[in-house]
Structure 1
């Protein structure tokens, strides 16, 4: 890109801040009109609730703000690259997206979209596309060359379906070809896709792997997403709960994701989760247990009550067996028989645990709804924990920026 083109991109920053969502909303509408086959690639639930439009608007804004040095966005770019690989996004998709993005800029800005501005954004987009496809090529190669690895979609059989709580059910997925499955880093996820007759579309969703790597199967633990207000029921989660049975076949993409346990460290770890956000942390915990790690571990989990609380018994068993694991459970309301050590009434408040949760040289892994993550991040920072020691994962389109 030329210096003049970069200046043109930076000049659009105020417009993107004010009208970015309008631009991305127009973009998606245009793209799905002209390329309806891409509805099978994108999460149409996130299209309906506006989360994907907001996520893309924030990404485009961040790219424009850092056009002089896109390398500062490496963390965000890596996260997006993993998501693309989990959805089998290929280089040819970038050409389609670029075509509709440039056309949308023209149509939304009208006379303000000069030939020079469109040329600048074309160069900027190509620069980003080259960066992304290079990263994704490397991730695809890594996925394909692992023992038991593959790229694209592979059929898996649901051999076990286990109800873990009133809301969460686990699915044990084995390759239908009888082969091995690729190992993964604790904390990663897989994509699962199903045909939805009511939409006449194939729809993909990402679910964290909730067990330690084992070479034989993948386990996902899915919360039934019940709608409230303007939010509809989860299309895929409800179908998994209600319609998918043992023996059924699901299409699965290889493990991906950069929210992972640093397995090389021997320092303490603190896992902090809200609701179904415990699933990637459970994989990390099971990995530490299966490798007989001697690391000090603190498990902090919050949910509404014991009826919706999944995996409490297995973690209690681990706590009894693992000499350096302690757990702390927060419920919105405690039953009368739960006034025992380790259970607390109310939302997760780390300052109630004090030194029990603040361990020297520890890494903190946080996962749950966006407001939950923000609160725990801010509380940890207020307690003197460095930003570098706090790792978090937001389910769904990335709209949360913490610093």
Structure 2
């Protein structure tokens, strides 16, 4: 337990962290990789370059400082981070390295303002927080390894099938190299893949949502080709059927609650459709009487994935309604009548679609952050209670209520 004095000192640093948090975490990562370049094998280089990881860590540190006297209130965040750490292979021995480097970064950025008293208090606080994280993650490692078909860390899989879903999205069906069974998962979860891109010194890890329902003998990920995506381009261009890839056991807390029977609204933008496909197919199979409204926004039909799949499900499932929104439909889209709304999703249109839905409906959404920010605002304006809203960020967690950059990347 932390002393009242330590708690008081930590809370006194909140205003400083609000101003200098990202500067501290940016310097932290620079020092970390200078001292321990081997850790570059574990981090998403794209998120580092774009500053997303630095911002996410700064937000986490600030949250810890604000709630240092009631750390139990940030346990959901700790569990969310724990899922990511477990899927990346973060271990207890990494925490002392991080703590030491973080204190060095605080001292360097704040200078004389970082007194010995403040550094000691943060050292104590970090130790307590690290112990909580390590405990949570140890349980996750045990659970991943002990379940039927489960394993710890990474396991070799093979690309069993490769399917082009749109001009920019391709699905990869992955099966264990040893021919064994695979661990089950919940709709909405993701796996981490580890590859060694050509011409790169370090391995690259990327987390991709599982885009099919559980219960098959394969994992399916559906990868969008990003312009500067080292891993996504490698997968699209170089990986073929029969190639090996290392995979972590499924993880993630953005999952469909199948214990509920209330209607479900699934809203996605772009490649954010991937976890929604897993949820939709799971509901249709396990809860065929459950009402579903499936809304997907894309630039146009050429880049939309799973259109035929969704249409077939809706055509054969009396309780599923689907809507496609195209921001810039092509002439072919218009001639085919391939979409239900022309343009970006607007509040009035969404209100009309949801007019007759039960007030107890649950809402899940995923996509680029600007898209999610708008959807979150719309749902609040429509009176949806916060506890019925669920969403996932691709990559480091952000803040939907904060000002965000216009440009955002997905898993690349």
Give your verdict on TM over 0.5.
yes
Q: Work out whether residues 366 and 393 of structure 1, in 8 Å CA contact, stay in contact via their aligned partners in 2.
A: yes
Q: Work out whether residues 9 and 64 of structure 1, in 8 Å CA contact, stay in contact via their aligned partners in 2.
A: yes
Structure 1 residue 344 corresponds to structure 2 residue 341: yes
In the TM superposition, 1:102-251 aligns within 5 A as: 102-226=103-227, 233-251=228-246
1:295 CA drift (Å): 0.1
Gap change, CA 1:241 and 1:355, over 3 Å in 2: same
Counterpart among 310, 317, 320 of residue 322 in structure 1: 317
Q: Work out whether residues 180 and 215 of structure 1, in 8 Å CA contact, stay in contact via their aligned partners in 2.
A: no
Structure 1 gap ranges (5+)? 227-232
Structure 1 residue 38 corresponds to structure 2 residue 21: no
1:349 CA drift (Å): 2.6
**Alpha-carbon distance in 1 for matches of 2:140, 2:261:** 27
Structure 1 residue 275 corresponds to structure 2 residue 270: yes
Per-residue CA deviation, residues 14-62 of structure 1 (Å, 9 max, x unaligned), is 1111111111111111110111100001111111111111111111111
Return 160-169 or 190-199, whichever deviates more. 190-199
1:384 CA drift (Å): 1.1
**Alpha-carbon distance in 2 for matches of 1:224, 1:201:** 21
Q: Work out whether residues 394 and 400 of structure 1, in 8 Å CA contact, stay in contact via their aligned partners in 2.
A: no
Moved over 4 A (4+): none
1:352 CA drift (Å): 1.1
Aligned-residue CA RMSD (Å): 1.4
1:350 CA drift (Å): 4.8
Q: Work out whether residues 224 and 237 of structure 1, in 8 Å CA contact, stay in contact via their aligned partners in 2.
A: yes
**Alpha-carbon distance in 1 for matches of 2:89, 2:400:** 26
Gap change, CA 1:217 and 1:293, over 3 Å in 2: same
Per-residue CA deviation, residues 95-144 of structure 1 (Å, 9 max, x unaligned), is 11111111222222222222221110011101110110111111111111
TM-score (structure 2 length as normaliser) = 0.93
Partner of 2:371 in structure 1?
372
Q: Work out whether residues 372 and 400 of structure 2, in 8 Å CA contact, stay in contact via their aligned partners in 1.
A: no
Per-residue CA deviation, residues 214-273 of structure 1 (Å, 9 max, x unaligned), is 2411000000012xxxxxx01111111111111100000000000000011111100000
TM-score (structure 1 length as normaliser) = 0.96
Partner of 2:17 in structure 1?
16
Partner of 1:230 in structure 2?
none
Partner of 2:408 in structure 1?
none
**Alpha-carbon distance in 2 for matches of 1:64, 1:401:** 20
Q: Work out whether residues 174 and 216 of structure 1, in 8 Å CA contact, stay in contact via their aligned partners in 2.
A: yes
Per-residue CA deviation, residues 55-88 of structure 1 (Å, 9 max, x unaligned), is 1111111111111112221221111111001101
**Alpha-carbon distance in 1 for matches of 2:350, 2:126:** 48
1:196 CA drift (Å): 2.2
Q: Work out whether residues 301 and 348 of structure 1, in 8 Å CA contact, stay in contact via their aligned partners in 2.
A: no
Q: Work out whether residues 264 and 361 of structure 2, in 8 Å CA contact, stay in contact via their aligned partners in 1.
A: yes
Q: Work out whether residues 182 and 215 of structure 1, in 8 Å CA contact, stay in contact via their aligned partners in 2.
A: no
1:402 CA drift (Å): 4.3
Tell me, what secondary structure is at the counterpart of 1:239? helix
Corresponding pairs, count: 396
Q: Work out whether residues 366 and 392 of structure 1, in 8 Å CA contact, stay in contact via their aligned partners in 2.
A: yes
**Alpha-carbon distance in 2 for matches of 1:314, 1:197:** 34
